[in-house]
Amino acid sequence: MKRIRLWGLLWMSFFLELQDVAKSREDKYELIEGQTLEVDCPFNVQMYQSSQKEWQKLREGKEPLTLARTENNSGQTNQVQVGRYFLEDIPMEGLLLVRMTDLRQEDSGLYQCAIYQPPKEPLMLHHLVRLVVKKDPASDSNSTESVTEIPTVSPTTTKARSKLPISPSTVTQPWSTSTVSLSSPDLRVNSTHGTGVIRISPISIITMAVCGILTKSLVFTVLLVVTQRSFGL
């Protein structure tokens, strides 16, 4: 009897150690939004063939959240669907199939397959499942293309030009003067640029008048002689 009890304690401790090892191990799945998670959870056919199975999400500091649970069966395949969660219990193969569709980022977390055995706590069947759901990069690119970019015009600051003070300035331009001298008897003409002044001496005026009279007299005499000859006088 003592040996049987001892062996029973050894098997129990061994089983608990295996369960702790299974709990410490995680299978990680990294998927994108909209994809489907598929997990296979094997179980002992002899022990849990007719037991109800669960798909649970573990929450820190809280009891596991049951998302879906199979019904009692008599060794036949059992299927159940709750929203996006689908369970298929295949007792003949000792396998529980789990499927989560249309994944979302908030689905990320820690999950487990478990045996439902009230009033006892659920018994984990297989390794923990770490699910990481990432955002679809294609949706980001599409949303970026659908947004019309509005060019941003930086405000331009126009500074008023200060008026330069106009100081009165006096421009003095020297007048260049040139003197033209005409060499003629008693005749002298002085020309100054800017002030045209012609100075003639009285003697020159008298000389010019006399020359004019003599010239007229000479012309008149010549005409008179030509006229007389033409009339034969």
pLDDT tens track for 87-136: 999 999 999 999 999 999 999 999 999 999 999 999 999 899 999 999 98
Is the pLDDT assigned to residue 37 strictly greater than 50?
yes
pLDDT-based confidence at 24, cuts 50/70/90?
A: low
Who wins on pLDDT, 108 or 201?
108
User: Letter for the amino acid at 215?
Assistant: T
**6-10, 145-149, 198-202 — most confident range:** 198-202
pLDDT at 171: 41
Structure tokens at 171: 């421009």
As a whole number of angstroms, the distance between CA 72 and CA 108 comes to 29
pLDDT-based confidence at 217, cuts 50/70/90?
A: confident
pLDDT-based confidence at 195, cuts 50/70/90?
A: very low
In this prediction the pTM is: 0.53
User: How is residue 50 annotated by DSSP?
Assistant: T
As a whole number of angstroms, the distance between CA 203 and CA 42 comes to 151
pLDDT at 189: 39
Query: Which residue, 99, 94, 93, is CA-closest to 81?
Result: 99
As a whole number of angstroms, the distance between CA 57 and CA 55 comes to 7
Q: pLDDT, tens digit, for every residue of 53-93?
A: 999 999 999 999 999 999 877 778 999 999 999 999 999 99
Sign of the dihedral through C-alpha 118, 109, 29, 127: negative
pLDDT-based confidence at 205, cuts 50/70/90?
A: confident
Alpha carbons within 13 A on the beta-carbon side of 2: 0
Q: Classify 49 as helix, strand or coil.
A: coil
**121-125, 185-189, 226-230 — most confident range:** 121-125
Query: Which residue, 52, 161, 168, 30, is CA-closest to 103?
Result: 30
Structure tokens at 20: 């702790």
